[in-house]
Structure 1
Amino acid sequence: MEWKSSTALWRSNWNTAGRLARLGVHSRHGGLQCLQPCLLPHQRSASTGSKILVEMDNSTGIAVLTMKSPPVNSLSLDFLTEFSISLEKLELDRGCRGVILTSVRLDIMEMYGKSPEHCGEFWKAVQEMWLRLYGSSMITIAAINGSSPAGGCLMALACDYRIMAENPKYSIGLNETQLGIVAPFWFKDTLVNTVGNRAAELSLQLGLLYSAPDALRTGLVDLLVPEDKVLSTASQTMTQWLAIPDHARQITKSMMRKPTVDRLLASREPDINNFVSFITKDSIQKSLRVYMERLKQRKP
């Protein structure tokens, strides 16, 4: 990743929340479209490719990962690979203590009409994304500025804290059963760890997509704010987390999450094989096709 500094001059007393709030604007697709920011000398900007913009503020230790995979910021194989590389580099950056992520959703086309080899590569990339995010020593906050079904919900669940926009058009949940597929055990474990066993059972069996208020009541998200306040609130919340000594927080986080991470690490290959065997079945491919056709019919 090549980091670059800007020479643009801004007032030195401009606070962090204000800077972060100006990094993006909401698009009609429900995602976050990044404006070209003017950075202070202590800020660094890097694009690891065409799908993710990484912006690091050295003065705060906060990085913002803005997803740029239009039109709906989908979790494609390329995106997942790029995301894992970006997160790994931030993890190795001693100056980075926290990461704010914007919302994404799973790319169904990565599972439809693809070869077993491609499906295997895709699922390995999904695993890698979750392992790096759920097991990260950094503070991770999800800024949910759009609908986050399936893999997008998983990414949010893998974060330490979730802030969602109050918008009646947005929903979040592990809705895999609606597509005719089954959420793997580590999806289930992550959800159970967040909302409890009974709520997770109902959510997974019914493939529920929750509105923002319902997601808050269920415990799927931690805070609802007006849409134009999501990113700035994430910055303010991050400041509260940064006040905790890193070593104590990191050990506590590892203690809570390591058993869940270890379960997948012990069975990555069997999990990939199970996914490929399941997703390439004719009946499952038919279910995916029917679901995609329904989505097309909903579009104006």
Structure 2
Amino acid sequence: METIEIEKKENYAIVRLNRGKVNAINHQMVTELTATFNDLQHNDTVKGVILTGIPHFFSAGLDVIELYGYNEKEIAAFFADFGTLHVQLATFPKPLVCAITGYAPAGGCVLAVAADYRIMAAGDKYTIGLNEVAVNIQISNNLVNAYAFWIGTGLAHKYVLEGKLLHVEEALTCGLVDAVLPLEEVLVRAEEKMRHYLQADETIFKNTKQKLRNTWLSNLETDGAKDLGQAITLWWSPPIRAKMKAFVDNLQKK
């Protein structure tokens, strides 16, 4: 694995996003995460997973600079696989705790929102949220439903349309994250939470998690062909491409 690191503990695993300075998500990271979670789901010695990042960046979201250069076949494959990864994480039957070590906008939030429990690093500048509208990427039904499951339909609709990123305390207040701690304590608390979850009977935890997520997962689109087609069509539309180019040019200047 080149974009993630896996650390095995006694009966759980820590998956760490580790791709460059800001952990931007590209197709390789999506592919490696998909394979990793598939392996961990079917590994009977791994009873739960903690997903985390590097100091100050859980993930800055999609690697828009790289994605902008993808051809039609490559971007279609990326969107399809990223959507599949979200479904995989949302339906992951084992305990999944997210240790959010800093910024987690857009794609970073897509990963985090699938967890059973989210702990975020305290920091005035750190943000999290689904701001796809603000960066000219079409959001999917699955992401809207996931957001609404945690923060409520009204706030989800309001924040998604605004392309709003939430500061740490806002995220805690609305329920998008469950705890806020100093950066150096985030992973420690995540491991404590994991050990607590693993005290429960494995089958009972799995069944209960399924019941608690039933209203969310019953609306999960595992195909998503319509959403995918819409996203791809808009991605290649001239007005969106112009906006994306301006956004990419601005990122490259930083």
Instruction: Give the TM-score, by structure 2 length.
Output: 0.92
User: Does structure 1 residue 109 correspond to structure 2 residue 65?
Assistant: yes
Give the secondary structure class of the aligned counterpart of 1:147: strand
Give the secondary structure class of the aligned counterpart of 1:106: coil
Q: Distance in 1 between matches of 2:203 and 2:70?
A: 44
Q: Distance in 1 between matches of 2:100 and 2:191?
A: 13
Decide whether the 8 Å contact of 1:216 with 1:222 is kept in 2. yes
Decide whether the 8 Å contact of 1:135 with 1:258 is kept in 2. no
Decide whether the 8 Å contact of 1:55 with 1:64 is kept in 2. yes
In the TM superposition, 1:1-300 aligns within 5 A as 49-57=1-9, 59=10, 61-102=11-52, 103-104=58-59, 105-258=61-214, 260-261=216-217, 263-296=219-252, 299=254
Q: Which amino acid aligns with 1:151?
A: G
Q: Distance in 2 between matches of 1:271 and 1:135?
A: 19
Q: CA deviation at 1:263?
A: 4.0
Q: CA deviation at 1:110?
A: 4.5
Deviations 1:60-112 (A, max 9, x none): x1100011110211110000000110111111110111111112222213442
Q: Distance in 1 between matches of 2:205 and 2:84?
A: 23
Q: Distance in 2 between matches of 1:186 and 1:272?
A: 11
Q: Distance in 2 between matches of 1:153 and 1:92?
A: 25
Identity of aligned residues (%): 27
Q: Distance in 2 between matches of 1:70 and 1:227?
A: 19
Give the number of aligned pairs.
248
Q: CA deviation at 1:52?
A: 1.1
Q: CA deviation at 1:273?
A: 1.7
Q: Distance in 2 between matches of 1:280 and 1:235?
A: 43
Decide whether the 8 Å contact of 2:30 with 2:82 is kept in 1. yes
Q: CA deviation at 1:262?
A: 5.2
Gaps of 5+ in 1: 1-48
Decide whether the 8 Å contact of 1:144 with 1:164 is kept in 2. yes
Give the secondary structure class of the aligned counterpart of 1:162: strand
* Distance of aligned partners of 1:261 and 1:120 in 2 relative to their CA distance in 1, 3 Å threshold: farther
Q: Distance in 2 between matches of 1:72 and 1:202?
A: 27
Q: Which amino acid aligns with 2:74?
A: H
Q: CA deviation at 1:261?
A: 4.0
Pick the structure with greater CA Rg: 1
